[in-house]
Amino acid sequence: MTPGDISVCIVSWNVQADLARCLASLFEDPQACAAEVIVVDNASTDSTLQLLARDYPQVALLANDTNRGFAAASNQALRCATGRYLLLLNPDTLVPSGALAELVTAADAHPAAGIIGPKLPQPRWLAAVLLPRLSDDQGGYLPQHPPRPAAARLPV
């Protein structure tokens, strides 16, 4: 995995403890350090912003003044993301070592796939969706109705 391969997008709202565990699991993997990580915080009243400033200065933070909701905050992160692939990651998940590299390898091997959902070996492990970067003429990143390829199971 190389820099620019993947942007990890996380939406946060009053989940400081979960987010701390999620980011710790993510950055324990040396390969994951090449990933762009973006957190959109929806006006948390806990210590999320302090955690990010103190422990994760490498994370790009978008701090909203109000809770804009999951979809709007996800779109904020996706608009800022620069990776070839976009990973929507829930803040209460743990990322096993090597998982991001495996997702990139799987996506590269299956360029016709529109979405890749990793297998969850345990609850709370990598509940996420990997999307290839798409754009439309209006400057959007995810089309309203992407074309649907034939359903297929990718090898694990």
Map out the domains of the chain as residue ranges. Answer: 6-132
Q: Is 13 buried (19+), middle (13-18) or exposed (0-12) by CB count in 10 A? A: buried
Average per-residue pLDDT in the chain? 81
Cβ atoms of 48 and 62 closer than 8 Å = no
Per-residue pLDDT tens digits for 63-116: 999 999 999 999 999 999 999 999 999 998 888 888 899 889 888 998 888 888
Can you give the pLDDT at residue 120?
64
Give the predicted TM-score (pTM) of the model. 0.79
Tell me the pairing of strands 6-12 and 36-42: parallel
Fold of 6-132: Spore Coat Polysaccharide Biosynthesis Protein SpsA; Chain A (3.90.550)
In the block, which residue shows the tokens 């796939």?
A: 113
pLDDT band at 125 (very low <50, low <70, confident <90, very high): very low
Cβ atoms of 96 and 134 closer than 8 Å = no
